[in-house]
């Protein structure tokens, strides 16, 4: 893929190849996702037919380097795609893109052999899930308890992970565990675990407020034998560093999803505020309504710029932790406000299931929670601002 190479100041232009990518995903969303979004929201069925079509476009292997058979998209390109998919339905978008998240520990920390094996399986059509959160440890990653103990050539894994996206449909999981409980964050490691391993069980999916097309469930590991060769990087204690590198690359694309949902809400408002009349004029002509829509436009532009900046920084090989957190918190919080205001612009109709905006408001809430809550992003920004 042709990436942005200009270093002559700031460029807001996408390359022609990136524009083509954006157009092709926009087209896929219009044809395959938007017409089906309401069905999957109502039924909470997993959107297999859309996933299968997405696989043909390479959407489930977007960030896998071309040398391993993937699309070779950089983080900025993932953001371009992420915004378009979430514009159609952020639940279906999550279902389609969790593979990229689950692949990241392997991409940033895996050995050559591990990359060939596990990234290759995704290219062959398998699905994966990314497992950090536990019932007793969400924001506090270092508080996790799932334990892996070495016995000869295998590790024995015990514990459970919760709120795991695509848990029921994954063929394998990338799982963060404790290998040395005495060493705090230096005692964390990451393994690839085959979903069919004896001792692995996955719960029924949770019944959620939004993003209902995405499967979210709990995974329990009971004396699961995992080959030592599945330890990512083959080094115990490398898990925390891998998780931090993953967050730098995963937060901008997640934030781009919030931009996509916000843009959808804004465009629905543009249409509705011209059609709906009260007191003899279209409602956008009431300043209070017009200003809500102007605020939406400003915040979407600002959020996208932050997201793309955070993505471009990590693509250029720099540190982006502060910007990734700024992008994630700003985009998620802006999108929550924008979708809530969209319901307001639609008045009573906004509250009804037949109209599109209540779904957007339900769907977008989770952007303030997963991949680090909005509070945790602010903690990171403070830490980075005062880093000595």
Ligand X SMILES: Cc1cc2nc3c(=O)[nH]c(=O)nc-3n(C[C@H](O)[C@H](O)[C@H](O)COP(=O)(O)OP(=O)(O)OC[C@H]3O[C@@H](n4cnc5c(N)ncnc54)[C@H](O)[C@@H]3O)c2cc1C
Site residues for ligand X per CB under 6 A: 130-133, 138-139, 163-165, 208, 211, 216, 366, 369-370, 372-373, 375-376, 379
- Residue 8 CB, shortest distance to ligand X, in Å, is 39
SS (H, E, C) 300-325: HHHHHHHHHHHHHHHHCCCCCHHHHH
**Closest CB to ligand X among 172 and 346?**
172
- Residue 17 CB, shortest distance to ligand X, in Å, is 30
Q: Which whole-number Å values give the CA distances from 149 to 137, 140, 142, 268, in the listed order?
A: 20, 22, 17, 53
**Closest CB to ligand X among 101 and 307?**
101
Q: How many CB atoms lie within 10 A of CB 154?
A: 16
Token pair, residue 212, equals: 């209902």
First to last CA, the chain: 38
For residues 251 and 164, what is the distance between their CA atoms, to the nearest angstrom?
A: 17
Q: Which whole-number Å values give the CA distances from 118 to 54, 132, 171, in the listed order?
A: 19, 18, 10
Contact 85, 260 (CB under 8 A): yes
**Closest CB to ligand X among 64 and 246?**
246
Instruction: Note the Cα 380 to chain centre separation in Å.
Output: 19
Burial class (CB in 10 A: 0-12, 13-18, 19+), 269: buried
**Closest CB to ligand X among 20 and 209?**
209
Considering just the CA atoms, what is the radius of gyration of the chain in Å?
Answer: 21
- Could you give the residue numbers annotated as active site? 371
- The neighbouring-strand residues paired with 281 are 278
State which residue has the least CB distance to ligand X.
138
Q: What share of the chain is helix, strand, coil (3-state, %, to 5)?
A: 60, 15, 25
Q: Which candidate, 34, 47, 48, 131, places its Cα nearest to that of 85?
A: 34
How many residues in the chain? 388
- Residue 365 CB, shortest distance to ligand X, in Å, is 9
């Amino acid at each position: 893929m042709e990436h942005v190479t200009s270093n002559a100041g700031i460029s807001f232009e996408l390359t022609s190849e990136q524009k083509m990518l954006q157009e092709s995903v926009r087209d896929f969303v219009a044809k395959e996702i938007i017409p089906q979004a309401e069905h999957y929201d109502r039924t909470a069925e997993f959107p297999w037919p859309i996933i299968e079509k997405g696989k043909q476009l390479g959407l489930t292997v977007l960030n896998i380097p071309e040398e391993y058979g993937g699309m070779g998209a950089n983080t900025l390109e993932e953001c371009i795609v992420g915004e378009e998919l979430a514009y159609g339905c952020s639940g279906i978008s999550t279902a389609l893109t969790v593979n990229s998240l689950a692949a990241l520990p392997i991409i940033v920390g895996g050995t050559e052999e591990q990359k060939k094996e596990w990234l290759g399986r995704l290219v062959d059509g398998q699905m994966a899930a990314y497992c950090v959160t536990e019932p007793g440890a969400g924001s506090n990653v270092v508080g996790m308890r799932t334990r892996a103990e070495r016995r000869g050539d295998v590790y024995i894994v015990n514990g459970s992970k919760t709120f795991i996206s695509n848990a029921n449909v994954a063929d394998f999981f990338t799982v963060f565990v404790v290998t040395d409980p005495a060493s705090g964050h230096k005692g964390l490691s990451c393994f690839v675990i085959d979903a069919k391993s004896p001792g692995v069980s996955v719960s029924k999916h949770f019944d959620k407020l939004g993003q209902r097309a995405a499967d979210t469930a709990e995974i329990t590991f009971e004396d699961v034998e995992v080959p030592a060769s599945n330890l990512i990087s083959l080094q115990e204690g490398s898990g925390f560093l891998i998780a931090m590198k993953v967050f730098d690359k995963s937060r901008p694309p997640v934030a781009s999803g919030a931009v996509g949902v916000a843009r959808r809400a804004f465009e629905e408002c543009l249409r509705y505020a011209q059609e709906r009349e009260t007191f003899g004029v279209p409602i956008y002509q009431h300043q209070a309504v017009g200003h809500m829509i102007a605020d939406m436009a400003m915040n979407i532009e600002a959020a996208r710029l932050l997201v793309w900046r955070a993505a471009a920084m990590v693509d250029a090989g720099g540190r982006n932790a502060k910007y990734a957190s700024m992008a994630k918190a700003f985009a998620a919080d802006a999108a929550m406000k924008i979708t809530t205001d969209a319901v307001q612009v639609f008045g009573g109709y906004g509250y009804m299931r037949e109209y599109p905006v209540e779904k957007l408001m339900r769907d977008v809430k989770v952007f303030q929670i997963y991949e680090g809550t909005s509070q945790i992003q602010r903690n990171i920004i403070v830490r980075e601002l005062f880093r000595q």
